[in-house]
């Protein structure tokens, strides 16, 4: 507040205005306090969402839900331990296996000729096409970036519902690779090597039966050509009536559709081919241009102009074409270029698809298409060929300790979560402790502010419906499985412990893990025939529902444990905060206007009193005379 100097009246105007504004300022303080409480509550929701996401993803899915977490079986490899990796499942037999690897499986692989080193995965496809984007005008550039690049792999055309290619000039190499790999029907694994600029496609089916059929259009829309050496430039053609005796000025006129301005300066064209510079003025004939390009040994290309008005530039054997300078403007005289035609050898097969040749206990296995497969409940990964007389020996052992620790870890995490949730909905709410105003904080010590704020934040989610519903769902899931849990030594705690899980008989649990590990896995992770019926999946589903409800209400990010993540504003709490901001801004303007009016009124009073005093003094002076 600006301090005003008191005038003739001798009144403390600042104090009087402050007193007159007290009611309005109190209403503003209450609005700011209500807004602060809502913000704190929103942050509490974010903390809760983070905690539930961590439990659902990091604990239930990743840590305890993976296939090895509850598996009490363990494979021991002896002999050539680097040749074969073995992982026993819960259904693994105790029979010893002797594994000989005569030949590793391989997938049929196709590869482009490559672009060379220096092009990263984040490069846009438009930048691979050999076109000088910087030379284009805005409309041409926009149209070019929207141009689709086509490819069909094993019958998958990668087009949207309208028949447009999923890949255009704005698609990055990384995005292209990801899209191909996410399509299971294409049945290939695509990769890009930044060191060579090569695109590789390997059959996912693997083995001799795995095949790859790639179809691409020739010319300007070929996606495969983007990752290959550029060997041919072919323009769209200036027209059948154009001859080699015509000049570049004639071509410019055809392109523009009008004569040049009478006083226009002579136009020139410059560009580079493989480092060789070419400069032509508008009087140069097409035949002369072709001749000069062909006479350059540095360029290493052959140029030709045909009766269709097309200019074609072809690299000499073993070479490629790299154009620079302002080649886009020059090529546009011939109605633009089909930038680089696809080399007939752009995509070559570099590896055959072969089945693995492997023997287990002397018996040859058939149709082993990949180097990872399962036999006798053991997943084998073939890594090296072995000597026939020196097989890898695999023995399976039962070791329940690891699975036991996983179950103990889950119980600890489950109990900690329900303890935290119960504590949150039962937290004391201190109705008399509102958020402190700036004026109040000025009168308090830092320790007093912290203590007060802790109480003001307490109970923000007391009796929260989302948490209560989640706790009820979690208790129901455990209650439904209480019979099987009791049979392996796990039960619930006292009623006052709110559904806490307790290992009542550890020896019983350890015996179950040793004698029937699959039953324990099915209980927690779900059986193969009912994968969503396990305790972990059921708890994860209910946590996911709660996370969604929290997000719908407060705008939290559903996919992170970050307690500083930003909020979405299109939700009830976000809209309510916007309303608070609007009301606070309106009230602040009203307070400023009212305060200014009061000061103006007091100033007018002071002026009137001063004038009255002056008039009185003048009158007394006259009477005195």
pLDDT for the residue 11: 72
The per-residue pLDDT for range 299-316, each reduced to its tens digit, is 899 999 998 888 988 888
Residue from 100, 54, 223, 70 nearest 152 by CA: 223
- 212, 153 contact by CB (below 8 A): yes
- Domain edges within the chain: 73-105+355-398, 109-230, 239-335
pLDDT given for residue 352 in this prediction: 86
Q: What's the rounded Cα separation, in Å, for the pair 27 and 5?
A: 28
> Around 102, how many Cα atoms within 13 Å sit in the side-chain half-sphere?
15
Residue reference for tokens 């136009």: 267
Residue 86, strand partner residues: 380
Which residues contact residue 248 at a Cβ distance below 8 angstroms, ignoring those fewer than 6 apart?
A: 267, 269, 280, 281, 282, 283, 284, 285, 286, 289, 333
Q: Is 280 helix (H, G, I), strand (E, B) or coil?
A: strand
Q: Are 465 and 473 in contact (CB under 8 A)?
A: no
CA distances from 386 to 75, 254, 375, 376 (A): 19, 71, 19, 21
Mean pLDDT by 10 residues, the chain (625 residues): 52 80 86 94 96 96 88 82 87 85 90 83 82 66 79 90 87 93 93 91 87 75 77 81 88 83 79 90 92 92 89 81 80 70 66 89 90 90 88 87 93 97 96 93 94 96 97 95 96 87 95 90 88 92 96 92 89 93 91 86 79 74 69
Q: Which CATH architecture is the domain 239-335 placed in?
A: 2-Layer Sandwich (3.30)
Q: CA-CA distance, 166 to 147, in Å (whole number)? A: 10
User: Which DSSP category does 285 fall into?
Assistant: B
| The residue to which tokens 């995490």 are assigned | 413
Distance, CA of 68 to CA of 71 (rounded, Å): 5
CA 417 centroid distance within chain: 28
pLDDT at residue 154, rounded to an integer: 93
> Which fold, 109-230?
Alpha-Beta Plaits (3.30.70)
Residue-wise pLDDT tens digits, 417-472: 999 999 999 999 999 999 999 989 999 999 999 999 999 999 999 999 999 999 99
Compute the CA torsion angle 413, 415, 417, 422 (nearest 10 deg).
Answer: -170
Q: Do domains 109-230 and 239-335 have the same CATH topology?
A: yes
Residue 365, burial from CB neighbour count under 10 angstroms (0-12, 13-18, 19+): middle
CA 279 to chain CA centroid, Å, is: 47
d(CA 564, CA 567): 9
433/285 Cα distance (integer angstroms): 89
Place of tokens 């015509």: 246
Distances (CA, A) of 319 to 193, 298, 314, 419, 608: 21, 11, 9, 71, 97
């Amino acid at each position: 507040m600006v301090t005003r100097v008191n005038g003739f009246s001798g009144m403390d105007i600042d104090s009087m205005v402050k007193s007159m504004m007290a009611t309005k300022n109190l209403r503003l303080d209450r609005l700011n306090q209500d807004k602060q409480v809502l913000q704190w509550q929103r942050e509490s929701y974010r903390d809760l969402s983070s905690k539930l996401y961590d439990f659902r993803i990091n604990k239930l899915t990743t840590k305890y839900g993976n296939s090895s977490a509850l598996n009490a079986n363990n494979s021991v490899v002896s002999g050539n331990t680097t040749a074969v990796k073995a992982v026993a499942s819960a259904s693994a037999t105790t029979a010893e296996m002797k594994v000989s690897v005569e030949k590793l499986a391989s997938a049929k692989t196709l590869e482009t000729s490559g672009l060379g080193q220096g092009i990263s995965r984040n490069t846009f496809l438009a930048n691979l096409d050999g076109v000088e984007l910087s030379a284009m005008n805005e409309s041409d550039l926009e149209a070019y970036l929207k141009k689709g690049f086509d490819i069909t792999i094993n019958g998958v055309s990668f087009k949207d519902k309208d028949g447009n290619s999923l890949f255009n000039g704005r698609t990055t190499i990384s995005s292209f690779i990801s899209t191909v790999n996410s399509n299971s029907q294409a049945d290939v694994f695509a990769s890009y090597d930044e060191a060579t600029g090569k695109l590789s496609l390997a059959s996912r089916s693997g083995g001799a039966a795995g095949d790859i059929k790639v179809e691409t259009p020739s010319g300007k829309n070929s996606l495969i050509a983007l990752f290959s050496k550029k060997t041919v430039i072919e323009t769209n053609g200036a027209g059948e009536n154009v001859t080699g005796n015509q000049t570049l000025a004639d071509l410019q006129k055809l392109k523009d559709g009008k004569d040049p301005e009478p006083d226009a300066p002579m136009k020139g064209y410059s560009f580079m081919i493989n480092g060789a510079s070419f400069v032509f003025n508008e009087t140069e004939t097409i035949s002369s241009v072709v001749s000069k390009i062909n006479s350059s040994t540095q360029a290493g290309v052959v140029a030709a102009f045909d009766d269709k008005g097309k200019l074609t530039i072809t690299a000499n054997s073993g070479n490629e074409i790299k154009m620079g300078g302002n080649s886009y403007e020059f090529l546009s005289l011939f109605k633009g270029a089909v930038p680089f035609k696809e080399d007939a050898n752009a995509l070559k097969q570099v590896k055959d698809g072969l089945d693995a040749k492997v023997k287990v206990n002397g018996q040859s296995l058939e149709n082993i298409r990949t180097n990872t497969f399962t036999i006798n409940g053991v997943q084998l990964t073939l890594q090296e060929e072995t000597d026939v007389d020196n097989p890898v020996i695999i023995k399976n052992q039962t070791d329940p300790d690891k699975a036991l620790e996983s179950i103990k870890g889950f119980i600890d995490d489950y109990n900690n979560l329900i303890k935290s949730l119960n504590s949150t909905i039962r937290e004391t709410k201190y109705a008399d402790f509102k958020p402190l105003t700036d004026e109040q904080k000025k009168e308090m010590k830092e320790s007093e502010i912290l203590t007060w704020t802790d109480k003001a934040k307490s109970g923000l989610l007391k009796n929260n419906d989302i948490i209560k519903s989640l706790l009820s769902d979690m208790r129901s899931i455990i209650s439904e499985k209480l019979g099987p849990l009791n049979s392996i030594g796990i039960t619930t705690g006292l009623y006052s412990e709110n559904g806490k899980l307790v290992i009542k008989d550890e020896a019983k649990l350890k015996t179950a893990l040793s004698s029937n590990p699959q039953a324990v896995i099915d209980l927690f992770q779900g059986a193969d025939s009912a994968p969503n019926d396990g305790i972990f999946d059921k708890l994860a589903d209910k946590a996911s529902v709660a996370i969604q409800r929290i997000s719908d209400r407060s705008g939290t990010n559903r996919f992170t444990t970050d307690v500083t993540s930003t909020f979405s504003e299109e939700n009830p709490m976000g809209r309510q905060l916007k309303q608070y901001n609007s009301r606070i801004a309106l009230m602040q303007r009203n307070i400023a206007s009212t305060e200014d009016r009061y000061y103006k009124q007091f100033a007018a009073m002071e002026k009137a009193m001063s004038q009255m005093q002056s008039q009185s003094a003048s009158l007394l002076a006259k009477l005195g005379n």
